[in-house]
Amino acid sequence: MTVRHIETGKRKDAIERVAQLFKDWGARKPNVDKWVVYGAAFGLMDRGHITLLRIQDIAMEIGIKPSVVADRRRYWKQLQSFRGHKEEAGE
């Protein structure tokens, strides 16, 4: 049984945006690849508008396992960390 929470404002908008991106990706729409989807989802997550659990639930709707989303998040954070180090070094 899935528990649905009533979301409002920025959280609701973020959930709807991420859900639409995953649906578009699942439908193989042009210009929507995994890093466009994950980049938008994780950006909203970093701003506190959506949780990893909610992203995982949305991804499951198109057949992506929660562990895959968690792996993508780990990789995303590594990339962000790497980019931050390059910026600090002036590259």
Q: Residue 6 contacts by C-beta under 8 Å, 6 or more apart in sequence?
A: none
CB atoms within 10 A of CB 21: 20
Over its length of 91 residues, how does the chain's per-residue pLDDT go in tens digits? 454 555 568 899 999 999 999 999 999 999 899 999 999 999 999 999 999 999 999 999 999 999 999 999 999 999 888 776 555 555 5
Q: Measuring CA to CA, how many Å separate 3 from each of 6, 19, 41?
A: 10, 17, 21
b (16+ CB within 10 A) / e for 39-66: ebbbebbeeebbeeebbbbbbeeeebee
Query: Domain limits of the chain?
Result: 9-88
